């Protein structure tokens, strides 16, 4: 089912219209405490008295949400008899809301993770507060059960509607703004060269790339129209990775994030140009069934969408951009760190990459990433 897109100005009239049109009387709001900094908070506060719409808030979760929090959320949703789930946020609020939606009509006496998913028609509205993760467009969620990461993957947890409210991005710290924007750019590029790419995913990727490049500067300067375009581009990039998943760039970025405390998009963007150059130079290791020439053609399309004439130029463009945005590599590194990073990459995640990467290749790549050359 096509995701409904709502575009809202400061007054959130589009959101009110949506609620009234769907005749919602009980709204279940999944959000973290940061909602208090947003004008949207006031909107939800006035709904009961002014529009007779009851709002139940659920904020009892943390970053890297636990399965137990999801269970508590499902219980709260059932008790409240919610008619609509609204998720406000980026990562964890969206992940928790996706799981609540997924599990809300399943058997509460058994572990949800072990049950077969029974799809439901509960309306689910996502309101992203960053322009980057694209989580509002994907079937993926991550939660933790007994210390282990659980990757949830079901089409039924894709939000049925999304609200783009560019005014919500105003309070985003500058570093987060840059990093999330680069995350969206990495999603579109990695999806474009993924072995799982399709005509449809490529269309999303190329459109997202063009819109990110064109709107980057005004967006970072606080232009609201550019912020609206960036929300839409991040959503398209999310739709692209919903089809293809990400590739080696993302797989390599996770340990970089935990080791150096970088934002996710910062780490992913640090890996991408080096990975791209490596692939250009090692097309004999192409594993995409459509062949090396096909992948080279995809590289060319991605480069042109960025306004570059070749893939080499596009990789350099990203390196330059990171320099301009002051999203640099760590100030120091050691051989031990390189060993740690090279061993951290999940080989399963590398399978989407069009060019094979050995542990030796990963080591070489991390050397370049950390040294920034």
* Footprint of Fe ion (CB under 5 A): 183
SS3 (DSSP) at 102:
helix
Contact assessment for residue 47 and residue 60, using Cβ atoms and an 8 Å cutoff: no
Cα–Cα distance for residue pair 268/365, rounded to 1 Å: 13
Q: How far is CA 183 from the centre of its chain?
A: 7
Give min distance, CB of 251 to Fe ion, in A: 11
Q: Using CB atoms, what's the residue nearest to Fe ion?
A: 183
Q: Give phi and psi for 274, each to the nearest 5.
A: -70, -40
Cα–Cα distance for residue pair 106/263, rounded to 1 Å: 35
Instruction: Enter the DSSP assignment of 10.
Output: T
Give min distance, CB of 253 to Fe ion, in A: 8
Which among 160, 145, 180 has a CA at the least distance from the CA of 98? 160
Cα–Cα distance for residue pair 189/298, rounded to 1 Å: 10
Closer by beta carbon to Fe ion, 28 or else 140: 140
Tokens 């080499």 -> residue: 312
Give min distance, CB of 183 to Fe ion, in A: 4
Give min distance, CB of 158 to Fe ion, in A: 17
Closer by beta carbon to Fe ion, 95 or else 183: 183
Contact assessment for residue 272 and residue 186, using Cβ atoms and an 8 Å cutoff: yes
Give min distance, CB of 20 to Fe ion, in A: 35
Closer by beta carbon to Fe ion, 74 or else 182: 182
292-305 and 311-324 helices, crossing angle to 10°: 40
Give min distance, CB of 138 to Fe ion, in A: 10
Closer by beta carbon to Fe ion, 80 or else 254: 254
Closer by beta carbon to Fe ion, 97 or else 251: 251
Closer by beta carbon to Fe ion, 136 or else 183: 183
């Amino acid at each position: 089912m096509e995701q409904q897109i709502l575009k809202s100005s400061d007054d959130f009239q589009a959101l009110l219209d949506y609620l009234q049109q769907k005749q919602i009387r009980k709204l279940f709001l999944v959000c973290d405490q940061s909602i208090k900094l947003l004008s949207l908070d006031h909107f939800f506060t006035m709904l009961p008295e002014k529009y007779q719409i009851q709002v139940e808030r659920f904020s009892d979760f943390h970053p890297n949400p636990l399965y137990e929090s999801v269970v508590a959320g499902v219980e709260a949703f059932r008790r409240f008899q919610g008619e609509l789930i609204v998720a406000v946020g980026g990562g964890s609020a969206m992940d928790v809301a996706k799981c609540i939606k997924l599990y809300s009509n399943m058997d509460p006496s058994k572990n949800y993770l072990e049950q077969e998913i029974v799809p439901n028609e509960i309306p689910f509205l996502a309101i992203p507060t960053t322009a980057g993760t694209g989580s509002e467009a994907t079937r993926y969620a991550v939660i933790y059960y007994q210390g282990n990461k659980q990757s949830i993957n079901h089409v039924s947890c894709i939000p049925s509607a999304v609200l783009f409210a560019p005014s919500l991005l105003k309070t985003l710290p500058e570093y987060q703004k840059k990093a999330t924007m680069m995350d969206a750019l990495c999603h579109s590029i990695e999806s474009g060269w993924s072995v799982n790419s399709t005509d449809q995913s490529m269309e999303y990727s190329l459109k997202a790339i063009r819109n990110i490049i064109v709107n980057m500067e005004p967006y970072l300067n606080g232009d609201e129209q550019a912020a609206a375009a960036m929300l839409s581009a991040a959503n398209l990039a999310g739709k692209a990775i919903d089809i293809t998943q990400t590739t080696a760039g993302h797989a390599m970025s996770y340990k970089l994030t935990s080791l150096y405390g970088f934002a996710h998009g910062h780490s992913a963007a640090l890996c991408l140009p080096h990975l791209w150059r490596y692939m250009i130079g090692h097309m004999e290791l192409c594993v995409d069934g459509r062949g090396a020439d096909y992948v080279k053609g995809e590289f060319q399309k991605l480069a042109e969408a960025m306004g570059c004439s070749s893939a080499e130029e596009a990789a350099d463009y990203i390196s330059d951009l990171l320099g301009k945005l002051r999203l640099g590599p760590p100030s120091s590194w050691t051989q031990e760190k390189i060993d740690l990073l090279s061993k951290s990459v999940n080989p399963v995640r590398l399978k989407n990459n069009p060019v094979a990467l050995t542990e030796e290749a990963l080591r070489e790549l991390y050397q370049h990433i950390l040294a920034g050359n």
